[in-house]
Amino acid sequence: MEVIYRSTRSNSEPVTASQAILKGLSDDGGLFVPDHIPTLDKSLSELAGMSYQQVAYEVMKLFLTDFTEEELKNCINNAYDSKFDTEKIAPLVQADDAYYLELFHGSTIAFKDMALSILPHLMITSARKNNIKNEIVILTATSGDTGKAALAGFADVKGTRIIVFYPKNGVSPIQEKQMVTQKGANTFVVGIHGNFDDAQTGVKKIFSDKELAKEMDEKGFQFSSANSINIGRLVPQICYYVYAYAQLLKDGKITEGEKINVVVPTGNFGNILAAFYAKNMGLPIDKLICASNDNKVLYDFFRTGTYDRNREFVLTTSPSMDILISSNLERLIYRIAGNDADKNRELMNALSGNGKYEITEEMKAQLADFYGNFASEAETAAEIRRLY
């Protein structure tokens, strides 16, 4: 069944997966979301016998329905190859009574490599499918990890240029050195005065500037994004949750259908949203535990139903989580609002205006229903201690 993509902020004409990947962000400022979450069409026991590349294909084919089998497999095989230092791509390792999914085996040692290794291939394939002649200019805001992974992924990719904006004093010294020393004739790095939210807001404003878009088009360029606001970043992240469950099943650590909990240190909400999509595809997940650092805007939202970014921005030792505006949460808000673009737009406008919004009681009930028994304060604190 075909999956098409709609904006979270209007009832504009839906687009195909390749069109959504190319655009990155909808013209109205909304994020693209699938019109439905497809169900896994392979059994968990079948998936347990597959390689990472094979699992990735079985997941992504359900979301990227306008890609041919050959196109998608070509993207996957070009992404998950010898640039990873293990054939397993994402090994699952047991420590004490927990299992850790190792997502640091890519070229930049960041979990962002898992999606940003394939995004350039999806982007170029999408451009060919849609007869795009313009050069694609990737605009990306980063709090550390995404920047280097995106630069490495797009470096010298024909038909693209990439500009990464990062907070000058908001990333680690190593992350900054990784970015500013990136090789590639098409790569550019800009340090800004401000934090990640300022960088991300600036990128979104550029995307929504129709006059600039027209001028760029006249000169043979068009913008797209490598942030997780791009559905081409989000879909590949779903794959490793399915793969992790399949490996647990293969190794006899769980029985088929047994539920697992997933703990995700969270900043921009993309990684845990991918786990949520995996759960809604039929993966047996019980709790999704959204671990935060001192910038705990998401933790407070799930406890109270109020999203409030009007607070002190804390620079921590985990800069990738130093975020007060978690963009991907908008995709979840749209869903619990009953896919009501008008209601979602109202809430996002409130966030842009006075810096906060509160969801309705009905939406709170929907949130609890979607997430099951969401982690309590004590459980979250315990998981954070385990992680750090």
For the stretch 217-257, pLDDT in tens is 999 999 999 988 999 999 999 999 999 999 999 999 999 99
Give per-residue pLDDT as tens, 60-118.
Answer: 999 999 999 999 999 999 999 999 999 999 999 999 889 999 999 999 998 999 999 99
When pLDDT is averaged across residues 333-349 and rounded to a whole number, the result is 96
Among candidates 118, 75, 104, 97, which has minimal Cα distance to 232? 118
- Residue 376 has what pLDDT? 41
Stretch among 241-255, 256-270, 369-383 having the lowest mean pLDDT: 369-383
Helix (H, G, I), strand (E, B) or coil at 253: coil
CA atoms of 199 and 220, how far apart (whole Å): 25
- Angle formed by the axes of helices 52-63 and 231-250, nearest 10°: 130
Q: CA-CA distances (angstroms) from residue 307 to 41, 201, 278, 321?
A: 36, 17, 24, 16
Buried-exposed string 244-282: b where 16+ CB fall within 10 A, e elsewhere: bbbbbbbeeebeeeeebebbbbbbbbbbbbbbbbbbbbe
- H-type helices in 210-259, by residue range? 210-218, 231-250
Sheet holding 221-225, edge to edge: 187-192, 160-167, 135-141, 221-225
Q: Could you count the other beta carbons within 10 Å of the beta carbon of residue 69?
A: 9
Note whether 111 and 228 are within 8 A (CB). no
The CATH architecture that domain 232-387 belongs to is 3-Layer(aba) Sandwich (3.40)
Structural tokens at position 258: 């047994």
Q: Judge whether 137 and 161 are in contact, CB under 8 Å.
A: yes
What pLDDT is stored for residue 203 in this prediction?
92
- Tens of pLDDT, residue by residue over 121-175, are 999 999 999 999 999 999 999 887 788 999 999 999 999 999 999 999 888 898 8
Which residue out of 23, 42, 83, 112 is catalytically annotated?
A: 112
Contacts of 334 (CB under 8 A, 6+ apart): 8, 31, 33, 340, 341, 344
Is 250 in the active site?
no
Q: Residue ranges of the domains in the chain?
A: 232-387
- C-beta atoms surrounding 28 within 10 Å: 14
pTM over cut 0.85:
yes
